[in-house]
Structure 1
Amino acid sequence: MDFWRSGARWLLAALLAAAGISHLTWGRRGYRIVVPDWARRTTGLSKDAIVIGSGVAELLLAGAVATIPRERSVGWLVAAFFVAVFPGNVHQWRTGRSAPLLRTDRARLTRLFLQPVLVVWALWANR
């Protein structure tokens, strides 16, 4: 079981790192487009700042997942992050806005159903 958990943890760290890098580099403009206006109003931040903050958070979480093995609190932090960004994913699906790798309604809807899988993955891999 440790083998599978370790592999799942490293894969999760790689996924978070790739997402973080894309938020800070090549995908940044595309992610700004899908940030809901209510997120900007609620936080008082620009859409760009929200995208940058999300990318930084993903990189920090990737580092925590990779360097702090079998720590439940890390799993809970990653799961909380996935829950926190879910309303933005719903907004993206409802408005039909494209983002990197999510250019069709089918892809956006599939992404919604994958979100709970990511939450469970984060909790399972980090316990």
Structure 2
Amino acid sequence: MKKEVKTSLTQNIFRILLALLMIYTGFSHLTFNRIEFQSQVPDWLPLSKDLVVILSGIVEMCLGLTLLLWKNQRARIGWALAIFFILIFPGNVAQYLDGKDAFGALNSDTARLIRLFFQPVLIAWAIWSSGAWQSWRNSKK
């Protein structure tokens, strides 16, 4: 049985913030930002844009809830969330390349380009705050 990784108070605060952000964002996929999120679904994806937005919103809420509540699996959930951020990145790139506006603030190529640099921050945030990186390092000892 794997030993639970201890995380610091700072990590826990950031984990909770990330979890709440994921729950909020997932909820917004299903409600008030549904059309806006469709602008991020690449045209080459052979699925309905609305279906992709709904499914990704559900996944975001589930990841947020599990990150918030499922203590003994936090490291695995952190890796899953990091992978999710990697999987949705092509949508952000497509939005930039296609010049599609969204959310009011993403209304220029510069704003859409700057946004791309935040994806690695989200990936690192998920891995660090969940203790996933520390857990992986401990498994190599």
TM superposition score normalised by structure 2: 0.82
In the other structure, the counterpart of 2:113 is 109
Please report the RMSD computed on the Cα atoms of aligned residues, expressed in angstroms: 1.4
Do 2:99 and 2:109's aligned partners in 1 also have CA atoms closer than 8 Å? yes
Letter in 1 for 2:50: D
Following the alignment from structure 1 to structure 2, what is the Cα–Cα distance between the partners of residues 83 and 111? 14
TM superposition score normalised by structure 1: 0.90
Matching of residues 74-93 of structure 1 within 5 Å: 74-93=77-96
Greater shift in the superposed pair: 70-79 or 4-13: 70-79
Deviation at 1:30, TM superposition (A): 1.5
- Tell me, which stretches of 5 or more residues in structure 1 are unaligned? none
From 53, 66, 75, give the equivalent of 1:72. Answer: 75
Partner SS state of residue 107, structure 2: coil
From 102, 106, 123, give the equivalent of 1:99. Answer: 102
Matching of residues 35-50 of structure 1 within 5 Å: 35-39=41-45, 41=46, 45-50=47-52
Task: Point out 4+ residue stretches in structure 1 off by more than 4 angstroms.
Answer: none
Following the alignment from structure 1 to structure 2, what is the Cα–Cα distance between the partners of residues 6 and 114? 21
Larger radius of gyration: 2
Do 2:78 and 2:130's aligned partners in 1 also have CA atoms closer than 8 Å? yes
Deviation at 1:69, TM superposition (A): 3.2
Task: Say if 2:124 is the partner of 1:120.
Answer: yes
Do 2:39 and 2:102's aligned partners in 1 also have CA atoms closer than 8 Å? yes
Letter in 1 for 2:30: L
Letter in 2 for 1:72: A
Partner SS state of residue 17, structure 1: helix
Greater shift in the superposed pair: 66-75 or 91-100: 66-75
- State the aligned residue count: 123
